[in-house]
Amino acid sequence: MQFENPATTNPIDQLKVIGKPIHRIDGELKTTGRAMYAYEWHDPNLRYAYGYPVGSAIAKGQVTSIDSAAAKKAPGILGVVTTLDVGDLQKGKLNTAKLFGGSEIQHYHQAVAVVVAETFEQARAAAALIMVDYAPEKGAFDLRVEMANAKTPDPSSEPDSSAGDFHKAFSAAAVTLDAEYTTPDQSHAMMEPHASIAAWNGDEVTVWTSSQMIDWWRSDFAITLGMDKEKVHLMSPFIGGGFGGKLFLRADPVLAAFAAKAVGRPVKVALPRPMISNNTTHRPATIQRIRIGAERDGKITAIAHESWSGDLPGGGPETAVMQTRLLYAGENRMTAMKLATLDLPEGNAMRAPGEAPGLMALEIAVDEMAEKLGMDPVEFRIKNDTQVDPENPDRPFSHRDLIGCLRRGAEKFGWDQRTNPATRREGNWMIGMGVAAAFRNNLVMPSGARVKLDQDGIVTVETDMTDIGTGSYTIIAQTAAEMMGVGVDKVAVQLGDSRFPVSAGSGGQFGANSATSGVYAACVKLREAIASKLGFNSADVKFENGEVKSGNRVVRLDEAAGEEGLVGEDTIEWGDLTKTHQQSTFGGHFVEVGVDVATGETRIRRMLAVCAAGRILNPITARSQVIGAMTMGAGGALFEELAVDTRHGFFVNHDLAGYEVPVHADIPHQEVIFMDEIDPYSSPMKAKGVGELGLCGVSAAIANATYNATGIRVRNYPITLDKLIGELPNVA
Amino acid sequence: MRAFTYERASSVEAAAVAAAQNADAKFIAGGTNLLDLMKLEIEKPSHLIDVNGIDLDTIERTQDGGLRIGALVRNTDLAADVTVRRDYGLLSRALVAGASGQLRNKATTAGNLLQRTRCPYFYDPNQPCNKRNPGSGCSAIGGVTRHLGVVGVSEACLATHPSDMAVAMRALDAVVETVKPNGEKRSIPMADFHRLPGDTPHIETALEHGEFITNVVLPSPIGGKQIYRKVRDRASYAFALVSVAAVIHSDGSGKVAVGGVAHKPWRIEAAEAELPNGARAMASALLADARPTEENKFKISLTERTLAAVLSEAKG
Ligand SMILES: Cc1cc2nc3c(=O)[nH]c(=O)nc-3n(C[C@H](O)[C@H](O)[C@H](O)COP(=O)(O)OP(=O)(O)OC[C@H]3O[C@@H](n4cnc5c(N)ncnc54)[C@H](O)[C@@H]3O)c2cc1C
Ligand code: SF4
């Protein structure tokens, strides 16, 4: 199905199932431990062997030799495969750093060997006996130092934009801000480690893995292994979180495949937690410069956002400036990105890439500007709202209700209770409130599905879509139920299998809207098949209560299916609506914090997000996405930072004791409000993405609240107490 | 993790004999620290002596009105003990500020005292570390040091001792009772139990090989306001950047030990004379010899400010 024109009324608008607060249909499997994650697959007829990876001890250079003699004599050992044994491998199309093979080391903890044994413990013990010799080379590890050598990246990332004459307008502006902000490297820190099982059958391989994008992984796996994609069968029905860390093929399936081939048995490989932050990808650090010029009445006349980030050769920039092209009005504007070469692990997408760190900076800058203007930061944002793409005023937003989010949030949160900076105290706590706009583009991706109806009236959806904890199973079941006129109890959903039609996958907050639209398209086909089999005129057919109706004829779905059943399959594809109309999602984040006047510890007291993201397909799963994202933003604001050893080129705090993510005590109270809206330009579902929106801007709202509490402006994340302590009031 | 042999010791004597027989043996109690370190081959015992079956899990009054805490009393039980809560509130508060509920259910009194540093380089076997691999060098010096020590540090090591419980015990003048493999018993005051790194950061305590902790004894209750204030980046389940354990009497005198700043709970009895002169005076006396790094110098003012908060809470 080609989605070319705004959606008109369709069966989804019945809202009998869609939009209802339905609990996860896979919830019981998960709470009872029956949902099988990659490492847990167990076929009693197979004798699994265990592979344990060895990571490089240097960040850059060559492996000169690997001595596995001692490991090969260890108890239970079945085999050792080293990076030198397999030689140079073709790199996956979407990988920047190579995953395995050859002598070149591009980053710390790059996989250099996999050791296979009868048990996990034996493999781990033998792995410690592998002796690797390196010829280390000097690398570049410090973004601040490399900033001077940074270059404009490849044009595909749209590194530069401009409209009007920024420099002239900025120098003429009555009130100006010019400030630098930094965001650190961050780790996805998902719960389930990267893990795979590979089992060969002749020249075909089946891989159970933890992947957000089945088809991307399948293609890049085939390229890396030098085999035919058709001979790769990939399964990833349950995923314990990804946040972008599982978007692109990782080392574990590659190691498992080589290991399984070497020992002639299926092999399980999981990345040990201390290896994950340096072996896989991370959100790259940024240095950002923002300049804003405004008239005294608060109207922005000039806005510029520049960002520097680094990556391995061949990598891309963190696109931290993108939202600044669209979020606020202003006739004169420019954005620019510069990319430095860094020999740290590969920088790549992490939840809301670009917008998350970009808004961390921009939304502090906007707060600072409002203060300079003597304006309320909510009013300042509202004053500079735009209903069109500011670089291209002929291009409207499909639907934009930032103002609604901010007004509703301000009222609900009691924003009018906010006091001047550093004036509100409760005992030892300095209390402050902060606000920030949330903004994230609504991306769409082609997405396919197959929907079957059987003689029991059961509707089965098959698609390679993934559920990374987001609720894909549930909203897909709701979509099929709504389309076919049944309850979710009559729908079975099968996901994450490369034998199923290729879907959007989970990423960029495009999953929910794109994948359900694909299911919608497949259901349209199935409805047509049913109507045509029954000889109904498809224009007036109704699917309700497990029945198909046309005129005064009524047939039960199970009867309609008959013994042979019926199938509909289709892929949603997208026309020009994303070009003619800017499609984005919006929100307002409101946060209250307390800062301990003695120690400078910042603790969140309450958070509110108001989101405008089209139709909300399921308020329970959508809310979970938003509160999870707000929690992630709390970590990003207050403590998450991969600490770089700039001498040796690695992230030092590479476990969950060193890389602190929020715990329950950090998040006392969260509230989420969804604006009641639909966006017919986005898809037949009239929904948009919401999985990343909740992260966008929230860290800045926390930063602004900390400023309001203390009067101390911290522009370098995370806002840890050492950055406040020198300016806190005297307590001795 | 290296393969190891394993036995259960049912008495202190049996544990001592087992330790005497194997130079590579280690005791295992809750295992919450030892197992993690074994997985990374930072600890490589060839033999484990499981001491959980030894009858040392009670808390009893001593003859002079103090408290004898068995080495195997779980952190959760110690924190919840009615006598501890009433007479040694500092200890109870320090315990619940540490780790998580699940870990405290396993963690023991002796194991907690003997937990090893959280220096990130210590945890990465690829990196030189004098504590893990004597003589290999200290990767932290010149590297990431935000969490590391500021006082009592050496050219060989900047690590801190991460325990909360030990800081409270130091302020409470606890004494560690042990048995050596030859059966000899010792009482080691907390002041002497943990060592500064010096040239031998791998030697962390006064214990000899195979010496077994049987109990920790607290002197009779000393009253006062007992406050444990732990400062950390996230609200729970994080090691202290700085912690202050204080017993403050109504006349302004008291005892103060500080965590998160040194290789051992940091207390200088002589500095306590400054207590009535306020936090600044006290902190300057305590940290007079501090040698912080650029990244962790904030711990100096943080200690002073935390102490100020504790003193004002004690007054209030
Ligand atoms: C994620 C995490 C977070 C944590 N956070 C904190 C925190 O915030 N604050 C804090 O204070 N602690 C924290 N801890 C540490 C925790 O308190 C210790 O791991 C625990 O107290 C160790 O006790 P255990 O009985 O498990 O010791 P084990 O791991 O069994 O043993 C530790 C050491 O003690 C030796 N040993 C044990 N018993 C005896 C004995 N009777 N005589 C002689 N030697 C003995 C062992 O040989 C070993 O060397 C944390 C731990 C983890 C894993
Ligand atoms: S500070 Fe101590 S523990 Fe850390 S690397 Fe140096 S020697 Fe090792």
Pairing status of strand A542-544 against strand A547-550: antiparallel
Taking only the tens place, the pLDDT of each residue in A80-105 is 999 999 999 999 999 999 999 999 99
Residue A57: closest C-alpha in chain B: B126
Q: Above pLDDT 90, what percent of chain A?
A: 99
The number of the ligand 1 atom at minimal distance from the alpha carbon of B34 is: 29
Residues 6+ apart with CB under 8 A from A69: none
One-letter identity of residue A706: T
3-class SS at A192? Answer: coil
- Ligand 1 centroid to Cα of residue B52, in Å, is 13
CA quadruple A153, A250, A472, A501: dihedral positive or negative? positive
Mean pLDDT for A585-610 is 98
Residue pointed to by tokens 């609504």? A442
One-letter identity of residue A72: K
- Distance between CA atoms of residues A62 and A135, nearest Å: 5
Taking only the tens place, the pLDDT of each residue in B275-303 is 999 999 999 999 999 999 999 999 999 99
pLDDT at B154: 98
Give the domain ranges of chain B. Answer: 5-52, 225-315
Radius of gyration for the alpha carbons in chain A, expressed in angstroms and rounded:
27
Cβ atoms < 10 Å from Cβ of A423: 13
User: Choosing among B286, B305, B312, B315, which should be mutated to test the A contact, i.e. which has the most A CBs within 10 A?
Assistant: B305
> Can you name the CATH fold of B225-315?
Enolase-like; domain 1 (3.30.390)
- Distance between CA atoms of residues A676 and A681, nearest Å: 16
pLDDT grade for A540, boundaries at 50, 70 and 90: confident
Taking only the tens place, the pLDDT of each residue in A362-387 is 999 999 999 999 999 999 999 999 99
Ligand 1 neighbourhood includes B99 CB (under 6 angstroms) = yes
CA quadruple B193, B197, B198, B204: dihedral positive or negative? positive
Taking only the tens place, the pLDDT of each residue in B128-152 is 999 999 999 999 999 999 999 999 9
Work out the angle at residue A519's Cα, subtended by the Cα atoms of residues A514 and A524, and round it to the nearest 5 degrees.
125
Question: Which of B243, B213, B224 minimizes the C-alpha distance to B306?
Answer: B243
Taking only the tens place, the pLDDT of each residue in B11-44 is 999 998 899 999 999 999 999 999 999 999 999 9
- How many Å separate Cα A65 from the centre of its chain? 38
Q: What is the DSSP letter of A582?
A: B
- How many Å separate Cα A560 from the centre of its chain? 41
The tokens for A459 are 């509707």
Contact A615, A400 (CB under 8 A): no
ipTM above 0.95, yes or no: yes
Q: What is the DSSP letter of A151?
A: B
Return the higher-pLDDT residue of A431 and A43. Answer: A431
Question: Which of B157, B55, B162, B70 minimizes the C-alpha distance to B110?
Answer: B70
Q: Please tell me which of the candidates A638, A639, A665 has its beta carbon nearest to residue B236.
A: A665
Provide φ and ψ at A282, rounded to 5°.
-150, 165
Same CATH topology for B5-52 and B225-315: the answer is no
Question: Counting every residue, how long is chain A?
Answer: 732
Ligand nearest to the CA of B216: 1
- Distance between CA atoms of residues A623 and A620, nearest Å: 5
For the question of residue A692 being annotated catalytic, the response is yes
Q: Are A721 and B235 inside 8 Å of each other by CB?
A: no
We find that the CATH architecture of domain B5-52 is: 2-Layer Sandwich (3.30)
Question: Which of A104, A105, A138, A110 minimizes the C-alpha distance to A648?
Answer: A138
- How would you label A70-80 residue by residue, b for 16+ Cβ within 10 Å and e otherwise? ebeebebbbbb
Q: Please tell me which of the candidates A57, A658, A731 has its beta carbon nearest to residue B309.
A: A731
Residues 6+ apart with CB under 8 A from A394: A388
Residue A657: closest C-alpha in chain B: B238
State the pTM of this model. Answer: 0.98
Tell me whether B298 touches chain A (CB under 8 Å). yes
pLDDT grade for A732, boundaries at 50, 70 and 90: confident
Taking only the tens place, the pLDDT of each residue in B154-208 is 999 999 999 999 999 999 999 999 999 999 999 999 999 999 999 999 999 999 9
- Distance between CA atoms of residues A513 and A140, nearest Å: 41
Tell me whether B231 touches chain A (CB under 8 Å). yes
Going along chain A from its start, the domains and CATH numbers come out as 2-35+444-574 (3.30.365.10), 49-138+188-279 (3.30.365.10), 394-442+583-723 (3.30.365.10)
The tokens for A564 are 């042979």
Taking only the tens place, the pLDDT of each residue in A102-159 is 999 999 999 999 999 999 999 999 999 999 999 999 999 999 999 999 999 999 989 9
Which residues of chain B does A636 touch, with a Cβ-Cβ cutoff of 8 Å? none
Provide φ and ψ at A39, rounded to 5°.
-70, -20
Supply the mean pLDDT for chain A.
97
Task: Write the secondary structure of chain B as one string of H (helix), E (strand) and C (coil).
Answer: CCCCEEEECCCHHHHHHHHHHCCCEEEECCCCCHHHHHHCCCCCCCEEEECCCCCCCCEEECCCCCEEEECCCEHHHHHHCHHHHHHCHHHHHHHHCCCCHHHHHHCEHHHHHCCCCCCCCCCCCCCCCCCCCCCCCCCCCCCCCCCCCCCCCCCCCCCCCCCCHHHHHHHCCCEEEEECCCCCEEEEEHHHHECCCCCCCCCCECCCCCCEEEEEEECCCCCCEEEEEEECCCCCCCCCCEEEEEEECCCCCEEEEEECCCCCCECCHHHHHHHHHCHHHHHHHHCCCCCCCCCCCHHHHHHHHHHHHHHHHHHC
pLDDT of A393 above 80:
yes
